[in-house]
Structure 1
Amino acid sequence: MGFVGVVGDGIGSLCRNGNGTGRCSSRRRVRVVRFSLEDWVFANAKTKEVDWDGKCKQGVRSGSELLSFPESSAFAPGVVEKELASVLNVQGLDDVTALALYLICVKYGVLDSQFKQYVDSLPESLDLPIFWTDAELEYLRGSSLLEKVKSIKVRISEEFSRVLQALPGKVKEEITLDRYTWAQGILFSRAFELPPSLTIVLLPGADSFPTSRSGNSVVRATKGGLFGQDKNVALVADADIFRGDQVVVTRNAESNAQFLMDYGIVYEDSPALDAVDLEFGVSPLDPFYDDKVDILQEMNMSIALNFRVTAGCNEYREEDMEQLEYIAQYLRLVCLGGPDSFLLEAVFRSEVWDFMALPVSKENEKTVREKSHGDEGNGFGSSELSLDSRVQCLSSGCETWLQLQCDLQIRLDWLDRSKSWG
């Protein structure tokens, strides 16, 4: 159902008209003008302290609402589920899947929605890793992000296959894997999470404003009206903003890996975000699995650990070196086997963790090196970084990853030399 504008007595108003043409209830003949997304956003917003370019109209204090919508009309699963059910009749969809299907249905005419202008304004191509070619994904080899991208693509494909089986015939023609992946990408890059009331929500207008990891505004669930009974979804000033200042929306992520995965961007001037998550664990197929699990549990440690290492900008920071030593200690235990397995016996149980602080044997150290240099994204990655690879990474926006990989390699080599067997 489209929104149309009424131009007649000099007073602009909104009315609903099924085909977007014809007359409203006014006695005068009127000229009908279809509203743009900008008109729709500002006609439906409760608070409008920001213009369409993201500039603050008037100075506001921190905590003031810049743009807000009633929660009852927000682009959220609870609001669109009735419309979606009218064409899909599928039960038990999770919120993300439901919104993804709704986006497709609106974009390709299966549903006539109040959000049509907004959906039509969304970009058709997204520069996110899940849309990269296999050749482009090779630029990420050596980082844990490569395997994450592959696993997400597999998950989306499997999820699509399950959903497709439950869809009615006439809708199946419009729901393709490419379109479903596009919808998931839109939600990755534009949606906000506002628990507990809204697990995921899109905020038209605000999601097109500039973003930063330290902006001057945030999206929140707010309350208003008498006794706070009105629930809203709002873009709220996170600092004092002066008239004419650019409103920048804060997007949070723990590392450049997550920024690249979710938003297709990296911050090259932020060393604190240049980080790699290293995931290691005890394999269930390990013949000494039970013994190693018992030792880790006695140390109040998990059988699978995640370590985060940040780039050092050519400096060996003490806290990072301590973490690398802890990683080596953990891996020595995980890789313990063969002639060294006697250390897992009960008589050494209270001391074995301390033993792992130093090299156990050449064989054990070799296994640790192999595990930490795994090619499948579980370790530090390959140390062979050619000039061509550097140029490719730079041109694809992945220079940060390359610098980090070099830095981690240098640190691990330094750690080996400092405790060399000679």
Structure 2
Amino acid sequence: MASVFPACSGSASLFQGRNFFPFATKGSCLHLKRSLSAKCVASLGTEISVPPAVDTFWQWLKEEGVVSSKTPVKPGVVPEGLGLVALKDISRNDVVLQVPKRLWINPDAVAASEIGKVCSGLKPWLAVALFLVRERSKDDSLWKHYFSILPKETDSTIYWSEEELSELKGTQLLNSTLSLKEYVKSEFRRLEEEIILPNRKLFPSPITIDDFFWAFGILRSRAFSRLRNENLVVIPLADLINHSARVTTEDHAYEIKGAAGLFSWDYLFSLRSPLSLKAGDQVYIQYDLNKSNAELALDYGFIEPNADRNAYTLTLQISESDPFFGDKLDIAESNGFGETAYFDIFYNRPLPPGLLPYLRLVALGGTDAFLLESIFRNSIWGHLELPVSRDNEELICRVIRETCKTALAGYHTTIEEDQKLKEAKLDSRLAIAVGIREGEKQLLQQIDEIFKEKELELAQLEYYQERRLKDLGLCGESGDILGDLGKFF
């Protein structure tokens, strides 16, 4: 969806969804699995019934010295699928597991493998994704028991069918999903041409785009990114932990040096419980406090019912055809922005800092263009923090409201229809779609209402000219120009 400032302003503004490319995460990227088909539940005691593959995985961890009879948690079947269940009471900040670095799947593991040399020039996520696919196909892989418990897909929107994606019509999440899928496909084609096909001996098993999407989804949903010197690392066992909105801190993962067996020391991934738990409770963490519901859906395949997670991204752009493009770009860059700026609007929160000044800058033109002169360069952003002129303020209000109206017309349901649908028990993916589109529409209405109120206040606002005259003592408190100066206005 797009909206352009009228040509008379000499400026343009584009509003669209921001693409989420790998791996611009702001915390620990973990997973929320779809439920397994096995009919088993976690008991409230120390005996936890799990599918055979999970039990084999646990035995492997025992053999590797990762877990023992003292380990306070164990994998169990939970409403989300697989999770970590407390075997005994756990206090807040207690260590629940530690995994040695030799079992981590990260760029170092790739570099030390047979494909390390051919992957040396790749982006870290591409190298690790290719490593995951190759290791999964090997019968003798160190991680074979880990791979056996991984899902074939999650509810992330990158795995949705065309029919399922149609429920996201009009949403920014749909645009982000399609853009991300195209990006992954293009990266795979390049990887296939430059690495896989020229090195058939290293990749004897065929690698398909579906294989690559599986690996991409595993990384997107399970990789931690907050450890010291580690921007992308998958940690078996630790990645079974699920997300809860009840957890409001992110300081749960640590890298420490410690014993990794009877006679060895290694770096360990140490995970602490952010909550006090009783035996039988599921252990949770907070994946990322800053992610919107759209990002949660794209990365992990779930959303929170909390409306505060809903966001709508306004993408503003200084048009290259703007006669003042160079000046505006210089001002934007001097204040931490660029030719394009993204502003995430969250439900029931004030407009983000910088949005109104950037809007006023993009719309600046006509008789207001004198503010772009070099003499104002050090002070112009301060002037843009407040209304510049009625024409400028009226223009940004009109364009934003028209953009909201156009965006709202792009959805195939109303808010009321979405709310009615939510009263029924929905398939997990449909529930995500309904929640996302309802949230976006509510935010568009919120944005429209904010700028509608601004329109109603235009006559009462104080603009640059009046503020300047007051500073010079040439304008009274009521706005009247003092003395003979009035004849010039």
For 1:96, the equivalent position in structure 2 comes to: 125
2:222 to 181, 190, 193: 190
For 2:10, the equivalent position in structure 1 comes to: none
RMSD: 3.7
Counterpart secondary structure, 2:73? coil
1: CA distance, partners of 2:87 / 2:408: 52
Does residue 258 of structure 1 match 2:295?
yes
The 1:63–1:411 alpha-carbon spacing in structure 2 relative to 1, beyond 3 Å, is closer
Counterpart secondary structure, 1:198? coil
Counterpart secondary structure, 2:256? strand
1:322-348 Cα shifts (integer Å, max 9, x gaps): x49x63442132133467645534576
Contact 2:72 2:88 (8 Å CA) reproduced:
yes
- Cα distance, 1:298 vs. partner? 5.7
1:116 to 144, 159, 170: 144
**Larger displacement relative to structure 2 (40-49 or 178-187):** 40-49
For 1:51, the equivalent position in structure 2 comes to: 74
**Larger displacement relative to structure 2 (363-372 or 401-410):** 363-372
Does residue 76 of structure 1 match 2:76?
no
The 1:229–1:278 alpha-carbon spacing in structure 2 relative to 1, beyond 3 Å, is farther
Contact 2:332 2:358 (8 Å CA) reproduced:
no
Which letter does structure 1 place at the counterpart of 2:189?
Answer: S
2: CA distance, partners of 1:360 / 1:188: 46
Which letter does structure 2 place at the counterpart of 1:36?
Answer: T
After TM superposition, the structure 1 = structure 2 runs for residues 376-391 of structure 1, keeping only pairs within 5 Å, are 382-384=407-409, 388=413, 390=415, 391=417
Which letter does structure 2 place at the counterpart of 1:81?
Answer: A
After TM superposition, the structure 1 = structure 2 runs for residues 3-18 of structure 1, keeping only pairs within 5 Å, are none
- Cα distance, 1:380 vs. partner? 8.4
2: CA distance, partners of 1:387 / 1:283: 31
- Cα distance, 1:80 vs. partner? 4.4
- Cα distance, 1:264 vs. partner? 0.9
TM-score, with length taken from structure 1:
0.74
The 1:173–1:408 alpha-carbon spacing in structure 2 relative to 1, beyond 3 Å, is same
- Cα distance, 1:405 vs. partner? 2.3
For 2:451, the equivalent position in structure 1 comes to: 415
Contact 2:104 2:234 (8 Å CA) reproduced:
yes
After TM superposition, the structure 1 = structure 2 runs for residues 3-402 of structure 1, keeping only pairs within 5 Å, are 36-47=56-67, 48-53=71-76, 54-85=84-115, 89-109=118-138, 112-165=140-193, 166-167=195-196, 168-169=199-200, 171=203, 174-215=206-247, 218-225=252-259, 230-254=266-290, 255-268=292-305, 270-296=306-332, 302-312=338-348, 320=350, 323=352, 327-337=355-365, 341=369, 344-345=372-373, 350=379, 354=383, 357-358=386-387, 360=389, 365-366=394-395, 369-370=398-399, 382-384=407-409, 388=413, 390=415, 391=417, 395-401=430-436, 402=438
Contact 1:343 1:352 (8 Å CA) reproduced:
no
- Cα distance, 1:46 vs. partner? 3.0
Contact 1:278 1:380 (8 Å CA) reproduced:
no
Counterpart secondary structure, 1:223? strand
1:181-212 Cα shifts (integer Å, max 9, x gaps): 11101111122124333322222233234322
Counterpart secondary structure, 1:192? coil
Counterpart secondary structure, 1:400? helix
Contact 1:381 1:405 (8 Å CA) reproduced:
no
Which letter does structure 1 place at the counterpart of 2:97?
Answer: L
1:385-418 Cα shifts (integer Å, max 9, x gaps): 7774555785442343323423432442442344
- Cα distance, 1:355 vs. partner? 6.3
- Cα distance, 1:232 vs. partner? 0.6
The 1:65–1:415 alpha-carbon spacing in structure 2 relative to 1, beyond 3 Å, is same
2: CA distance, partners of 1:285 / 1:352: 22
Counterpart secondary structure, 1:199? coil
1: CA distance, partners of 2:149 / 2:66: 21
2: CA distance, partners of 1:159 / 1:107: 20
Number of residues paired by the alignment? 374
Greater per-residue strand proportion: 1
TM-score, with length taken from structure 2:
0.65
1: CA distance, partners of 2:384 / 2:119: 57
- Give unmatched runs, 5+ long, in structure 2: 1-51, 77-83, 423-429, 460-489
The 1:243–1:131 alpha-carbon spacing in structure 2 relative to 1, beyond 3 Å, is closer
- Cα distance, 1:364 vs. partner? 7.7
The 1:380–1:247 alpha-carbon spacing in structure 2 relative to 1, beyond 3 Å, is farther
Contact 1:103 1:183 (8 Å CA) reproduced:
yes
Which letter does structure 2 place at the counterpart of 1:99?
Answer: V
Contact 1:256 1:273 (8 Å CA) reproduced:
yes
- Give unmatched runs, 5+ long, in structure 1: 1-32, 313-318
Contact 1:219 1:235 (8 Å CA) reproduced:
yes
For CA contacts below 8 A with separation 6 or more, give which structure has more relative contact order: 2
The 1:330–1:169 alpha-carbon spacing in structure 2 relative to 1, beyond 3 Å, is same
Counterpart secondary structure, 2:254? strand
1: CA distance, partners of 2:412 / 2:180: 30
